[in-house]
Structure 1
Amino acid sequence: MIVVDKGNVSIVNRSGARVLADCRYLEEIRIVAGPERGKVQQDWKPCYLSGLAVHPPTGRWAVAAVLMDGTVRMEVAGRDVVLPTDKAGRRKAGDFLILGDRNGVVAVTPGNTEMWTTDGTYRSQQPTAFTEDGARVLVNASNSSMCQWWSWSFGPRPGGLRVLPPGATDGNCNQLVPGEPRTVLKHQRDGIRIATLDPTGTKPWKVARALRQERRGMEMALVLGDTLVFYREGAQHPESGVCDESRPGTYRRIELSTGEERVWETLEGECYTKDFIMASARRRTVYYLKGKDPTDGGVRLFEYALDSGTPRELDVESLFGMLDISPDGQTLLLFTYRQGLVLYDVDSGSVVPVGGMSKDGTARLLAPR
């Protein structure tokens, strides 16, 4: 697997861990009051890395490095990175994209220059998925009100092109499922639409006409085959304006061929967002969290199979979160409070401890070699 933790990107296998990229930045703080007024303090710190995407067959990976306030230098794999500035020489804020493979770093790029700002706002660039052949990586570029998608070529000099313009979906963006060529867009004016990704990553996505379903309250919608699954928030009380627990949130599915919509689980007494955290296109299953385990304080993990129409709780102790699913959908990569990283077989229920990461890190599975 590829693991990102404490400023490092590492490859982990049966032989142990090997660092592929280390990222650090030099923070400079100028003291403006007190007995040390006027002094400048400098300290090297590990980068904050996020948005890990991996191409399992080739071992290619991409991650975002957030340029933190006070940064005066940044190094990736021992090499200085040029920090973007405006015409007046002021340092801009934004994310670098770091691309690599099993051998180390291939490229570092500021990505879309539109996403770098000096006005105090922050716009993120998050690598999310690779095209099927691993030639390009799809990057979610967004802020709180806007989302767009870019496709970047994988190589020493990455080239980017926009595949979904701003305004096609709202600031909450949309979820991509590995192996699924379509995604759900939500928009204040245009409602709910399905977009089909170009498989090569070199052409704009094709956006279909709006569905009849209401956008408001629809959260974490995704498509698996001909079925759209999502969470519908509960209703607000007409007088108090807070959650009306008598009309709770629901998990739902829509058959796109017929337009039929039905509820497959109601969360009694709960109104607000419950995420689908992952989905498997191969097995047509979705995974979601619901409540706390009273015995160990971990969250409870559930699997819903679209073909059988039944949810089931997975027997995982002390779960902190879910990180990835193997391409065949059989193995889940989980992080638990007790054992750290573990591999969970959804058919047998067996657990294999892996370790090698803190709860603040993230990881993705690779294909066996």
Structure 2
Amino acid sequence: MGVVVSLEEGKKERASIMPLVDLTRHDMSRVNELILSKAGSNVELIPEIANHLISSGGKRLRPMITLAAAQMFGYDGDGHVKLATSVEFMHTATLLHDDVVDESGLRRGKATARMIWGNQASVLVGDYLLGQAFRMMVDVGSLKALDILSTAASVIAEGEVMQLSAAKNLETTEDEYLAVIKAKTAALFSAAAEVGPVIANTSRAEQAALRSYGANLGLAFQLIDDALDYGGDAKDLGKNVGDDFREGKVTLPVILSYRRGTPDERRFWKQAIEENRSDDAALERAVGLMARYGAIADTIGRARQFGEIATDALAPLKETPQKAALLEVVEFCISRVS
């Protein structure tokens, strides 16, 4: 169709999450067992819907970060497995709720749960998974870890409402948009990273380092997703290219293009986003305007800045295989478009 800008040209050899995968492989097998156990229920619909999304092929990046962050400080209990599972359940619940709010039809190439079982069932199963997540947090017995993750759950919900309030609003500023993704995406990355050193009883400085790492990694991760929606590969994105545009989402590339455009171009954006005139021809014009005003490049540039902050946050910590793997995760997230 010729509707997307290729981001493949000039790609270097990619960074990889395989060091993180290898370091957490044993613990992740325990997490996966716990996921299957805790997603079970005598209510047949609950495991059916939960497993539909859990088995859909996500990287499980957030729970792996929790595991590695605990390992790097020598933690030798099993609380990190329960907390990592809690993090994954929180993420899964958020996806179920997101798809309802966004009226999404596909996720990672599969029909969303709401398309198969309906909105009500999707929301309620998401709530069930959140409940199971909190039960596991309590089992760990760390009030601070419980506080961190429960606060993140509240912040994520606030971010959902903020996004709903800003939906299709082209007057959204960059600062307002960053506040939304800080709540919706970065909060869980931050909590996932911080609870590892917390249960390992590390210093406040070390906990703060992982908190900052996670928050800035989350911002970088989301901004790269925003860029990929207008010129990436569906396998990198976990959804179809152009989905954000078709759903009328106001993401950073749209915000920058709208603000930098002529009055005629701003009218186009209003028609496309606010009036749902978002067919393939409109998508092609949108991508062309983003290229003209450097919106994709600047979005990637913002992501790189947050990635650098995440990297710097870990700089004072001692060198371990886990630290090296977490640093490579930053490069991996950015390299999806580099």
Length-normalised TM-score, structure 2: 0.29
- Which has the larger share of strand? 1
- Which has the larger share of helix? 2
Length-normalised TM-score, structure 1: 0.27
- Rg comparison, structure with higher value: 1
